[in-house]
Amino acid sequence: MSSLSIAYGRPTLADRIFSRGLVTDIILIAAGTALTSILAQIAIPLWPVPITGQTFSVLFVGATLGVTRAALSMVLYLAIGLLGLPIFAPEADGSHVTGLPALLGPTGGYLIGFILAAAFVGWLAQREWDRKWLRTLLAFLGGTVLIYAVGLPWLFVALSNLHVPNPLQATLAGGLYPFLIGDAIKAILAAVILPLVWRLTGPKKKAAAE
């Protein structure tokens, strides 16, 4: 007999460890938001886009919570930042931009991309893409591409509005190239960690599924 839950569909890694339920879902969503907020502060503050541990958190939350809870976790992260709490990654001078200016600024597209990427990786995880290393690697790389698919055009428009010379080159130099090696390392780490945790956590717990 299943209890009420925000999650639906096949169980994820979180469901293997915790029984599905509304209270558990809320705690997991809040935990995903907290993890993303914390890793956003572990940053090399560059302009226009800092290097952080944030993207790993976004994709990890997706892989462990599944599509619905992961997306809600990132929506909550965005909402809290828009309300003014300094949870987004710091600027090059160490300050924090919050509220609507953060969304409308150069990194606003990445914030929107977090929601889509977490949901995408969560959707794949519910189809057991996080059980084997190669599929986990591909899922994380796919989620990363989705973040860039929203973040880079947004950054280009923002830099163009700031009248930055050669905005296309500035977009690639500031929003893509510095992150490629780090993104590859994050994907490799996930490909090692997630399948290992699946094996170590023993038989799958029963979870509500539609």
Q: What is the pLDDT of residue 208?
A: 43
CA quadruple 202, 134, 151, 178: dihedral sign: positive
Residue numbers of the chain with a pLDDT score lower than 70: 1-2, 203-210
pLDDT tens digits, one per residue of 133-175: 999 999 999 999 999 999 999 999 999 999 999 999 999 999 9
| pLDDT reported for residue 102 | 93
Inside any domain, residue 6: no
Domain assignment present for 129: yes
Residue 4 lies in a domain: no
- pLDDT at 93 (0 to 100): 82
- Total domain count, the chain: 1
What pLDDT sits at residue 8?
86
Q: What is the Cβ-side half-sphere exposure of residue 72, based on CA atoms within 13 angstroms?
A: 14
The count of C-alpha atoms lying within 13 angstroms of the C-alpha of 107, restricted to the half-sphere facing its C-beta, is 26
Tell me, yes or no, whether 119 lies in a domain.
yes
Is residue 5 domain-resident? Answer: no
DSSP H or E run through 52: strand 51-52
CA distances (Å), 120 to each of 24, 110, 147, in order? 22, 15, 10
Structural Rg of the chain based on CA atoms? 17
Please give the pLDDT value at position 203: 62
**The whole model's pTM is what?**
0.92
Closest listed residue to residue 111, CA positions, set 183, 209, 40, 46: 40
CATH number of the domain residue 156 falls in: 1.10.1760.20
Asked whether residue 206 is assigned to any structural domain, the reply reads no
122 closest CA partner among 70, 197, 77 = 70
Residue 207 belongs to a domain = no
- Residue 48's domain comprises 13-200
Q: Which residues pair with 187 in a beta bridge?
A: none
Domain contains 155: yes
Q: Can you give the pLDDT at residue 206?
A: 44
